[in-house]
Chain A
Amino acid sequence: MNLRIHTPLAAAVAITGGLLILLTLFIPGYDDVRTRILNWAVLLAAIALLIGLVNLFAVHFDRLRNKQKPIYSAVLLIALLITFGITLWEGSGGLIPSWIFSNIQIPIETSLMAVLAVTLTLAAARLLQRRTDLMNIVFVVTLFVLLLGSGPLFGIELPIFTTSLGPYITNFLSTGAMRGLLIGVGLGTLLTGLRILIGADRPYGG
C-alpha cells in the first residue's frame, strides 16, 4: 500500500479506536463494544507474538548462514524448534514441556538472579574505593541502613535498625519518592494518550 494512503489510514484507525474505547468508559451501556474491540487487540497481540517468533528465527537463521557466531544461533534454533514442536504436539501441560520448563528455564533464570546479587555486592564494594563525594556517601549510608534494617545479621537483630531507621526510610522517604514517581508516570501516561488521540504522536508509524 502506498505510504501516502497508509499513514492517514493508520492514524484514523488509531484515533477512532482510542476515542471509541474512551467513550465506552464514560457512557454506560456500551461494554459489549469495548469488550469486542479489546478482544481484537488481544488477537492482534497474539499474532504479533507469532510474528516476533518468526523474526527471531529469521535473524538467527541468517546469522547461521553468514557464520556470525553460528554456534549460539544453531543452539537457539535447535532448542526453539524442538520446544515449539513438542509443545505443539503435547500441549503446554505435557510431560516433556513441563520437564523442559522446570529443569532448564527456571534454573537458568534463577541462577542469573543469583549472579545479580553477587554482582551488586561487588559493585557496592567498589563504590567505596572509586569516589567519596557527598552523593556516594549518602547512597552507601542508606544502603547500609536498609540492609541492617531488613533482618538480623547472622541471626542477631540490631533493634535500632530493624525497628526505627529501616522502617522510617521504607515508610516515609521511599514511599514519598515513589508517590512522586507514580504521579509523574500518571501525568505522562495521560499526556501520551492525549497526544495519540489528537494525532500528535504516531507510534504506529508515519
Chain B
Amino acid sequence: MSYHSAKDPEEELPDWLKALRKRQNQESPEPAEPAPEPAAAPDAASEAPGEEEPGWLQEIRSRYGREKGPIEEAPMSEEPALGDTQPHRVSKPEGEEPQPEKEEVEWVPEEFDSEGESTPEPEALSTPVIEEPEDRGYTPAFTTNEEPISPGELPSWLQALRPGAFPKEDTRSGEMLPGGETLPGEIETGGPLAGLSDVLPAEPDLGLSGKPPVFSARLDVTQNQQLHAAALKQLVDEEAKSIEDESRRVALPTRVLNMVMGAALLAAVLFPLLTQSRTAVRPDANSGLFPEVQSLHDLIDVLPAGAPVLVAFEVQPATFGEITPLATAVLNHLLDRQSALVFISTLPTGPSLAEKLLQDQLGALPAVATGDYVNLGYLSGGIAALRSFIGDPRGVTLSSSQADPWQDLQALDQLSDFALIVVVSSGAEELRAWIEQSGGDLPNGLLAVTSQQANPLLRAYLQTDPRTLRGLVSGVQGAALYERMRAQNSLGSSYWDAYSYGLGAMVLLILLGGLYGRLITLRPEKVKPAGSSRAA
C-alpha cells in the first residue's frame, strides 16, 4: 500500500465536502493578486476583517454576529461586578515633570524603555485594560445582554474586617516604621501592588537611611605595649639590615676564606698519611680513662677457640672510612682467637661493607682467605625484624648471597648460643635498637664498636644494671688505643697521626677564622660619595 497515490486528492473528498467547496468557489472567486506575505497576514486580517475573509468565514461571522457586536461595544469598565476588582487609579503627583517621549524601536515592546527595564506608563499601570480579541473562536460565558449579577450584602463583621473600613492603630514596632513608609490607610504608589491600600511593606530595612556609625581606627594600647612593639620592630629591622650588609661586605673574603680553610684541612690530614708519620702520642690504656675499651678487649681475649660470635655490621658508607681501622682491629683480634664469625646487618649496605672490609683489610688471614665465616646478609624490616631475629634467628627471612647460610651453623638455634655479640655501628640509633630489643635475652650482653659520634649517647648504657653494653670502643682514638693494647701498628696508628694533625688544623682555623671575621665586622664602613648608588 502506497501512501503516495497518483490520484487527485480532490477526487477522494466526500460528496458533501465537494459541494461545500463548490459553493464557496462560486461565492468568493480567487483574488487575482498574489497572496500577501505570511508575516503581514495577521495584521491585515485584524485591520480589515471583512475585506479579505473567505465567504464561508463571512457566513459563519454573519450567523454569530449577534453575540459578537455587543462585546466589542461594551467597555470592561462599565461592568459593575468586575469594576470593584480593578486597582484604584493613582493620580500623578503634583510638580512631577512629564517624561520625555522615548524613541520607539520597532522590535522593542512599548513596555520596555531603552535601558531594558520595565517602566510601564503610569496610565497603563493605574488602569490596565483587558483587550478582548476581536475574532475569538468561542462563545463567552458572560455577555452584556445577560442580567447583571447583583452584589451580595456583606455582614457587618465582614465589612469591619475590610481594609480601609476604619482607621486602625499601628501595631508595628518603631523599627518597622522608618521615615517614608506608608501608613495604614494609605495607597501604594509603586510596584505591582500600586493602587492597593493597607499592604505590608516588602522590605522594611531597605527604607532605613542614616549615617553608619564611625569606629575609631586607633588601637587602645598602653604605653608599655607601644614600647614593646617599637622594640620588636627595631629588632626585626636590625636583623634584615645586618644580613644584607654582611652578605654584601664579606661575600668575596668569605669565599676566599672557605677555600683556604678547606685546603689547609686537607693538607693537614694528607701530610702524615703521605709521610707515614707516627709521631703523635697514642692513648694509653693504663691511664684508667678507657675502662670500656679494656672490658671489650678482655672479653674477646678470653674467648675459646671456635666460639661463635655474631657481628652485626650496621655501617653506612659515609662512615666506612672511620669504622675501618676500628673494626679491623677488633675483627683481627676475634680472628686471632679463632672465633667463628657470623655477620648480619639491618642495613642494605651492611653485608657488602662487611665483605669489603674482610677482603681488603683481613684477606691475608686464613679464616678469611678460606671463607671460614658466614654472612647471613641483609635483615629487612627494621626493628620488627630485629625483634623477630632475636626471638627466633632461624625463623626470619634473610637476603643472603649464600644459598643456605645456616648450613654450617647447625648448633646455633638461639641468639644466646653465640658466645659474643658485637655490634659495629655507624650511629647510635642502630645500636640502641639492638640493646633495647635484646633486653635480657643475652646473658653475655653486647659489645659495641661505633663511630665517635655515637659515643656520648651509648655511654649511658655502660652503667646500667644488669649491664646490656659490656664494652665500647669508638672512633679513631679507640682504634689507636686498641692497637696499642694489642701491640700492633696498623691503620689505627697511621690514622691517629692524621687525626692529630687535622685536629690541630681545625682548632687553629676556628681561632684564626673567628678573629679574622671579628676584625672585618669591626672595620668601619667606607663613606660613600654623594649620589652614588648600589647599582653603580
Residues of A within 8 A of B (CB): 31, 34-35, 38-39, 41-43, 45-46, 49, 91-93, 98, 101-102, 105-106, 108-110, 112-113, 117-118, 121-122, 124-129, 143-144, 147-148, 150-157, 163, 167, 170-171, 174-175, 178-179, 181-182
Contacts and interface: CB of A to CB of B under 8 A. Distances in A.
The residue in B316, B355, B504 that gathers the most chain A C-beta atoms within 10 A of its C-beta is B504
Given A153-B500, A178-B459, A42 B397 contact: yes
A49 B510 CA distance: 43
The residue in A41, A125, A127, A155 that gathers the most chain B C-beta atoms within 10 A of its C-beta is A125
A144 B280 CA distance: 19
Given A93-B355, A178-B459, 16 more contacts: A35-B392, A39-B395, A42-B397, A45-B384, A91-B401, A98-B352, A101-B356, A113-B319, A117-B506, A122-B258, A125-B261, A126-B514, A128-B513, A147-B506, A152-B280, A153-B500
Contact of B517 (A42, A125, A143, A163): A125
B456 A175 contact: yes
A121 B259 CA distance: 12
Contacts of B500: 151-155
5 contacts: A108-B317, A109-B320, A122-B257, A124-B510, A144-B510
B530 interface: no
A49 B397 CA distance: 15
A65 to B, nearest CB: 29
Contact of A151 (B319, B353, B392, B499): B499
Contact of B261 (A34, A118, A152, A163): A118
Interface of B: 257-258, 261-262, 265, 277, 279-281, 283, 287, 289, 316-321, 349, 351-353, 355-356, 380-382, 384-385, 387-388, 391-392, 395-397, 399, 401, 455-457, 459-460, 477, 496-497, 499-501, 503-504, 506-507, 509-510, 512-518, 520-521
Contacts of B380: 42, 45-46, 49
Given A92-B401, A105-B317, A110-B321, A122 B261 contact: yes
The residue in A49, A128, A147, A171 that gathers the most chain B C-beta atoms within 10 A of its C-beta is A128
A144 B499 contact: no
A182 B501 CA distance: 34
Contacts of B477: 150-151
B497 A178 contact: no
Contacts of B388: 34-35, 38-39, 42
A151 B399 CA distance: 41
Contacts of A151: 280, 283, 477, 496, 499-500, 503
A140 to B, nearest CB: 8
A157 to B, nearest CB: 5
A110 B317 contact: yes
Given A46-B381, A109-B318, A126-B513, A39 B396 contact: yes
Contacts of A163: 287, 289
A117 B319 CA distance: 12
B495 to A, nearest CB: 11
A174 B456 contact: yes
A38 B385 contact: yes
B510 A175 contact: no
B525 to A, nearest CB: 16
Contact of A31 (B265, B385, B392): B392
A45 B501 CA distance: 45
List the 5 closest A-B pairs by CB distance, nearest first: A128-B514, A129-B517, A125-B513, A42-B381, A153-B504
B320 A121 contact: no
